Amino acid sequence: MRINIRIIVSALLAAMAFVSAAQADQLADIKKKGEIVFGVLGTDEPNSFVDPKTREIVGYEVDIAKAIAQKIGVKPVFKQLAVAARIPELQQGRVDVLAASLTHNKERESQVDFSLTTFVTGQKVLVKNSSGITDVPQLAGKKVVTVKGGTQEPNIRKAVPTVEVVTFETTQQAFLALQQGKGVGYVNDEASLVNDYAKLGPAKKEYAILPTSISVEPLALGIRKNEPALKAVIDDTLRELESSGNADKLFVKWYGPATKLQFDKRSFKIDSDKI
Amino acid sequence: MPHFDSALLLRGQYHDWLLTGLHLSLALWATAFVFALPLAIIVALLRLAPSRALRALGTCYVEGIRNVPLLAHLLFWYFGAPELLPDSLKEWLYAGNFEFVAGAIALTLYTAAYMAEDIRSGMRAIPAVQFEAGRALGFGFLGTTRRVVLPQALRVTVPPLISQTLNLWKDTSIATVIGVAEMMYQAARVESASFRSAEAFAFVTAAYLTVSLLITAVAAWVHHRWPVRTL
Amino acid sequence: MIELIHTYWLYFLVGQFPDGPLGGLALTVLLAALALALALPVGLVLGLARVSALRAIRWPVSALVHVVRGIPLLMVIFWAYFFLPSVTGHKTEQFSTMLIALVVFDGVYLAEIVRAGIRGVPRGQFEAARALGLGYGRAMRRVVLPQALRSMLPSLVNQFVATIKETSLGYIIGLTEVSFIAAQINTQVFTHATQVYLLLGLTYFILCFGLSRLAVLAERRLGRRVPPRSVRSPGSPTPTATPTA
């Protein structure tokens, strides 16, 4: 069954290679170069982060990226990006694909294309129990911290219009600011928050993740506009991962019960790029 | 590239953001300047003091500050130093606008180190006989400095000090890394909200240039109005 | 603190190299050295253009110099980062962006240092060279500039120190230079913020102070008085030659 799909896809790819010769063909360029550059955050455990022992970038999205590179038959190269720089770097051709915890939303669809949704999370707020805040509306008039250039700031402002927001260059700087008490809440994707929460160790009991999600965040890979061949390869790789069961294995590897996040099971499948 | 939409700069939400940034940049600049100048005079005097220990103190300050980039200073004062304080003091500190405070502290200390050197050079440019004459007349070190050397030194020192003021103005841009919502911070915010980098950056560039040119004009006027007299 | 150094010293010094791009202190020094080496010819050209007899050269260059000096380095970096690829048609990543921004920014300041260096060489040298039949270019290249460069050496070392400090701004565009690495290490070890940033400051201090002591030594060898780092001649209305970062 798997072998059949592979042959069909390869045939389709070969056909597409001829068909799309007329358009700008990033996929052909990638194949010619022999390598594909993925823009990753490298600071968002467990999607992409630096393993301190090996000093390599690893993670859920990194594994997906490696699968795509293997499918195309080229070497994957990982480039670390700041949150605020993801879309500009992709648009200007400095990276080929974004695997950087990128939220798929309507506003961004005018700037970039998205692959099938690879992960669904929500954005939540992490608070210190000593602040006495038990749910999102109580943040009115208070100061929260988050990272620059993502969807976190607009989302929290929409949820709590009178909130005061201070943003930092990286998510960890923002988390550090929360720990030091410079804000009462730290806004980020739920998965990242759970990961940070777990890393606190014994200090965990002083913190809590507020129950209400301020948004639903479908994460997907970012692709430059008008690159149908590349998008097709990426989507096909993702479908294959899903149908072979490897997608679920990846989820368990990085988010499952044995990890810091301890998610029980996936609440989504990798099968759609509609939001 | 999409066409340049100058309407963005003249009114609307993004314009307001950028304007708020400009006000904060100016506030940060003014605050740091007001505190840096007196501190610089003190440090300069330390460097010229008769006591060896005081001189060493002054030198440690100047060399320790100048050999470390402003970015590292900002990170240290915002993320590093306050953690040493007791919890109650920390909470009181963080309840206010600590981003601005830490930024002002870092900028003040950094600028004062450079200004101190300029003031010291200015004072050294005054012939030693002036100082000796003052001492001979019975004034102490501070007295002579205050009445005889400093007034003459000021004329010499003012142009480099104005340069340092210009540098301080430009340095306020780095405070963005500790969350101070000054112009660069707002420019990045406008860019990520609207994807329109050209308009945001043009506004900010024009704002920086305008103030810089004003400062340079003041410098030229000072030089014209109070030229350095040589004895 | 010792444990901190023990675990992270390699990452701090070279980043992910060789399993990834070069980072940390090695990247800082490399970037600064390369930027200064490239900024020197740029500064030379700009300096010569500023004293050119031709208005068509002098005015645009002077305008450029005034604009670059009036805006923060961070602004130059942002312009380079967002617009360089559309202008050159080439992809540029953080290192190249930082390099180009530094070359432009420092080139403008070096123009002043170069001008002062050239002026420092006695006019007679140039005249003698011309009298011997050398053209303007040859006279500059073979007679004036070598002497000027020797006298500029301490100022150049000071400029190198300033450039090392400027590389810290790469932090803001995600370049993995030493400040960025320190911040990353800091977030791994939440509770030692003070130590991490003190160590960062100490690293810069040792590097920069060491280099500026070298400048003083070079001065002594040349037998000249050390020009104070941030001061031009008293009464001069031109802004100081040391950009701060």
How do residues A145-188 score in pLDDT, each as one tens digit?
999 988 899 999 999 999 999 999 888 889 888 988 889 999 99
Compute the C-alpha angle A29/A33/A38, nearest 5°: 85
**Is residue C80 in a domain?**
yes
* CATH assignment of the domain containing C60: 1.10.3720.10
Q: What is the pLDDT of residue A13?
A: 56
The pair of structure tokens assigned to A262 is 């301890």
User: Which residues are within 8 A (CB) of C37 and not within 5 positions of it... i.e. 6 or more apart?
Assistant: none
d(CA A116, CA C92): 28
Interface of C with A in 94-153 (CB under 8 A): none
Nearest CA in chain C to B188: C78
**Is residue B32 in a domain?**
yes
d(CA C68, CA B202): 14
**Is residue C115 in a domain?**
yes
Residue of A55, A81, A176 with shortest CB distance to C193: A176
Establish if C173 touches chain A: CB-CB under 8 angstroms.
yes
Q: Which domains does chain A have, with CATH numbers?
A: 2-120+218-255 (3.40.190.10), 123-216 (3.40.190.10)
Least confident piece of the model among A119-133, A140-154, B52-66, C90-104 = C90-104
Residue of B83, B99, B188 with shortest CB distance to A149: B188
Q: What is the pLDDT of residue A66?
A: 94
**Is residue B45 in a domain?**
yes
d(CA C98, CA C77): 6
Distance from CA of B82 to the nearest CA of A (A): 9
- Chain A positions in Cβ-Cβ contact with residue B198 (cut-off 8 Å): none
pLDDT in tens, C117-147: 877 888 888 889 989 988 888 888 888 888 8
C-alpha dihedral sign at B80, B85, B87, B91 = negative
User: Which residues are within 8 A (CB) of C56 and not within 5 positions of it... i.e. 6 or more apart?
Assistant: none
- Chain C positions in Cβ-Cβ contact with residue A56 (cut-off 8 Å): 16, 19-20
Closest CA to C94 of C173, C21, C154, C17: C173
Give the pTM. 0.78
**Is residue C54 in a domain?**
yes
Residue B164's domain comprises 27-182
Q: A196 near A119, Cβ under 8 Å?
A: no
Cα A168 to chain centroid, rounded: 19
CB pairs under 8 A between B and C: 161
Instruction: Give strand pairing partners of A117.
Output: A220
**What average pLDDT score do residues A124-135 get?**
90
Nearest CA in chain A to C78: A85
Does residue C117 or residue A104 have the better pLDDT?
Answer: A104
Distance from CA of C18 to the nearest CA of A (A): 9
d(CA A200, CA C150): 56
d(CA A176, CA B94): 13
User: Which residues are within 8 A (CB) of B130 and not within 5 positions of it... i.e. 6 or more apart?
Assistant: B148, B149, B152
**Is residue B218 in a domain?**
no
Instruction: Give strand pairing partners of A168.
Output: A147
**What average pLDDT score do residues C192-200 get?**
86
**Is residue B35 in a domain?**
yes
d(CA A7, CA A22): 24
Question: Best mutation site among B20, B192, B197 for testing chain A: the one with the most A CBs within 10 Å?
Answer: B192
Distance from CA of B44 to the nearest CA of C (A): 14
Residue A144 in 3-state DSSP? strand
Count of domains in chain C?
A: 1
Q: What is the pLDDT of residue C3?
A: 77
Residue of B94, B191, B192 with shortest CB distance to A182: B94
Establish if C85 touches chain A: CB-CB under 8 angstroms.
yes
CA atoms within 13 A on the CB side of B125: 26
Tell me the pLDDT band of B35, cut-offs 50, 70 and 90.
Answer: very high
**Is residue B200 in a domain?**
no
d(CA C235, CA B158): 8
d(CA C26, CA C24): 5
**Is residue B209 in a domain?**
no
Establish if B85 touches chain A: CB-CB under 8 angstroms.
no
pLDDT in tens, A221-257: 999 988 999 999 999 999 999 899 898 899 989 888 8
Establish if B99 touches chain A: CB-CB under 8 angstroms.
yes
Residue C118's domain comprises 2-222
The pair of structure tokens assigned to B136 is 């001979």
Residue of C85, C174, C183 with shortest CB distance to A173: C183
Establish if B37 touches chain A: CB-CB under 8 angstroms.
no
Question: Is residue B22 scored above 90 in pLDDT?
Answer: yes
* CATH assignment of the domain containing B51: 1.10.3720.10
Do the chains contact at B227 and C78, CB–CB below 8 Å? no
Residue of A111, A166, A176 with shortest CB distance to B99: A166
Q: What is the pLDDT of residue A59?
A: 92
Chains that touch C (3 or more CB pairs under 8 A): A, B
**Is residue C23 in a domain?**
yes
pLDDT in tens, B164-193: 999 999 999 999 999 999 999 999 888 888
d(CA A31, CA A114): 21
User: Which residues are within 8 A (CB) of C175 and not within 5 positions of it... i.e. 6 or more apart?
Assistant: C27, C31, C94, C95, C98, C167
Establish if A175 touches chain C: CB-CB under 8 angstroms.
yes
Question: Is residue C12 scored above 70 in pLDDT?
Answer: yes
**Is residue B67 in a domain?**
yes
d(CA A251, CA A231): 22
For residue C20, what are the CA distances in angstroms to A34, A54, A77, A78, C177?
A: 18, 11, 9, 8, 13
Determine the angle formed by the axes of helices C73-88 and C94-120, rounding to 10 degrees.
Answer: 110
Burial of C57 (0-12, 13-18, 19+ CB in 10 A): middle
Distance from CA of B5 to the nearest CA of C (A): 16
Q: What is the pLDDT of residue A21?
A: 42
The pair of structure tokens assigned to A98 is 């974004």
**Is residue B86 in a domain?**
yes
Do the chains contact at A180 and B82, CB–CB below 8 Å? yes
Count of domains in chain B?
A: 1
